[in-house]
Amino acid sequence: MRTLFGLTKNKKKPKNKNASEKRRVRRRKEVQPIGVVDKKYRRLQKKNQSENAFVERMARIWGYDIGVDLGTTSVLIYVKGRGIVLHEPTYVARYVATKEVIAVGEEARAMNGRVPDDIEVIRPIRDGVIADYDTAEYLLRYLLTTVLRKSFLFKPRVLICVPSGASSVEKRAVLEASLQAGARKTVLVEEPLAAALGVELDQAESSVAMIVDIGGGTTDIAVICPTGVVVSQSLRVGGEQFDEALINYCRRRKQLIIGHHTAEEVKKQIGTVDRLASEREAMVSGRDLVTGLPKTIIMSSKDMQRAYAGTAQLIIEGVKTILEKTPPEMIADIVDHGIILTGGGSLMNGFDHVLTRSVGICSYLADGALYSVVLGTGRALQEMEKFKDNLEELQ
Ligand code: ADP
Ligand code: MG
């Protein structure tokens, strides 16, 4: 009994000791490595979460402010307080018979040229303005709903960019589409002005400057001063016209038929408008014009420069025309500031050098050229009061 008692006692004692030791070790393990880090992390998260939650809650009650760059090639959306939240190609794919939409954005762009006859891929924005109203409205509504949570009291206030030369009918179409897409109020802003805000021009001392925004289908050239746009022009020339020029060049000079997609890819790879640019080469595949069979050739950047020369000249002529219309006092400021290039098309290799040589004013590419317009809408939203004279408000 004693032995038994002793045994059990002896047995129990170390057992308990082990158990408590194990428990302590386990607790230490649990608490120390995860606990401390985790606690801090959680506290940090919580703080941010509560701040975010407050902003989110207020935004949901009062509605959101949204900036939209509705471009020929892509749509970018800026949500106030969140930054750029969406960048999608401006493409919609739908059934021809039922008009039922099957894909939007990148997915629809991937389908372009690779679909059966009963499906069509539509580009609702052409030359910077709405060409297919229903599809544009659908696209806008779809994209707005993907970036927004439902506001239960108010709808979003939307600021949309339009090309500088847009007619009142074209502006009306953008406005209607935006309202139909669920906007509470829509404000229109001219694209060059938004681009100027996006590159933070107004923070410079003297803010007279020339902006050249080369998009997919349009080039907006404008002279901006603190009170707004002085002179501007929207040319129907953009990145796509460069692609067209390359397609034509390949057919005429190389007896090779290539598609738009290939033309754009080659442009991004070795495209240049500068005859002094360093030589680069790329393989280009297509269909032989004579035999109809697949063919691959080597193209050099010299070929590209020859193909693009005419199109680049149209933009240069446009810049010269605007300079001729600019009041002489402002020319000095433009010379000081230089010509600022924005938009995807301005990423074309050597365009800044060619423009500098042609007009004699230093031209340079803006940082984040693809995003200046949408960032400008963001700034306009933040400082709506300051810029309200330059905004066309319609509701
Ligand atoms: P939009 O405002 O009309 O939607 P973007 O400013 O998005 O147009 O520019 C799109 C155009 O920029 C397209 O035609 C595209 O081919 C062209 N692009 C984009 N990147 C480059 C590049 N690296 N070099 C030359 N062109 C480019
Ligand atoms: Mg644009």
pLDDT score recorded for residue 395: 43
- How far, in Å, are 25, 39, 59 from residue 32 at the CA level? 10, 10, 39
Single-letter residue type at 111: M
Q: Residue 355: its pLDDT value, please?
A: 96
Give the pLDDT confidence score for residue 36 in this predicted structure: 27
Beta strands 363-365 and 281-288 are unpaired
Report the pLDDT value the prediction gives residue 182, as an integer from 0 to 100: 79
Identify the residue whose C-alpha is closest to ligand 1 atom 24.
Answer: 348
User: What does the pLDDT read at residue 157?
Assistant: 85
> What residue spans in the chain does CATH classification 3.30.420.40 cover?
53-191+375-394, 194-236+318-370
343 ligand 1 Cβ < 6 A: yes
What's the pLDDT at 264? 95
Per DSSP, 100 falls in state: -
- Rounded-to-5 percentages of helix, strand, coil across the chain: 50, 25, 25
Q: At residue 299, what are phi and psi to the nearest 5 degrees?
A: -110, 145
Point out the residues of the chain with pLDDT beneath 70.
1-17, 23-63, 149-154, 202-206, 384-395
95 contact partners, CB below 8 Å, separation of at least 6: 102, 118, 119, 120
Cβ 257 under 6 angstroms from ligand 1 = no
Ligand closest in space to the Cα of 198: 2
For residue 382, the model assigns a pLDDT of 81
In this structure, what token pair is assigned to residue 121?
């891929």
378 Cβ below 6 A of ligand 1: no
Which position has the token pair 């933070």? 200
CATH topology of domain 194-236+318-370: Nucleotidyltransferase; domain 5 (3.30.420)
Atom of ligand 1 nearest to the CA of 349: 24
Residue 350 near ligand 1, beta carbon < 6 Å: no
Q: For the chain, where do the domains classified as CATH 3.90.640.10 start and end?
A: 239-308
What is the distance in A from the centroid of ligand 2 to the CA of 72? 7
For the Cβ of 264 lying below 6 angstroms from any atom of ligand 1, the answer is yes
Cα first-last separation, the chain: 96
Identify the CATH homologous superfamily for domain 53-191+375-394.
ATPase, nucleotide binding domain (3.30.420.40)
pLDDT of residue 8: 41
**Amino acid found at 65:** D
Cα 213 to ligand 2 centroid, rounded to whole Å? 7
Instruction: Please work out whether the CB of residue 216 comes within 6 Å of at least one atom of ligand 1.
Output: yes
pLDDT of residue 34: 26
CB 284 within 8 A of CB 250: yes
Nearest CA to ligand 1 atom 8: 215
Q: Counting ligands in written order, which one lies closest to the CA of residue 373?
A: 2
Radius of gyration of the chain (CA): 29
Residue nearest to atom 18 of ligand 1 (CA): 344
Can you give the pLDDT at residue 2? 40
**Which residue has a Cα nearest atom 12 of ligand 1?**
344
Q: Are strands 363-365 and 339-342 parallel, antiparallel or unpaired?
A: parallel
> Ligand 1 centre and the CA of 327: distance in Å?
31
Q: Can you tell me the distance from the alpha carbon of 216 to that of 134, in angstroms, rounded to the nearest whole number?
A: 21
User: What pLDDT shows up at residue 163?
Assistant: 85
Ligand approaching nearest to the C-alpha of 346: 1
Residue closest by Cα to atom 20 of ligand 1: 344
Strands 101-104 and 119-122, how do they pair? unpaired
Q: Which residues does 30 contact at the CB level (< 8 Å), separation at least 6?
A: none
Q: Residue 8: is it exposed, middle or buried by C-beta count within 10 angstroms (0-12/13-18/19+)? A: exposed
Class of domain 239-308: alpha beta
Q: Is 109 in the pocket of ligand 1 (CB under 6 A)?
A: no
Residue pLDDT, tens place only, 24-37: 665 554 433 322 23
CA–centroid distance, 230 to ligand 1, in Å, is 26
The answer to whether the CB of 370 is under 6 A from ligand 1 is yes
Q: Are 217 and 236 in contact (CB under 8 A)?
A: yes
DSSP letters for 243-296? HHHHHHHHHHHH-EE--HHHHHHHHHHH-BS-TTSPP-EEEEEEEETTT-SEEE
Please report the pLDDT score of residue 325 as a whole number: 95
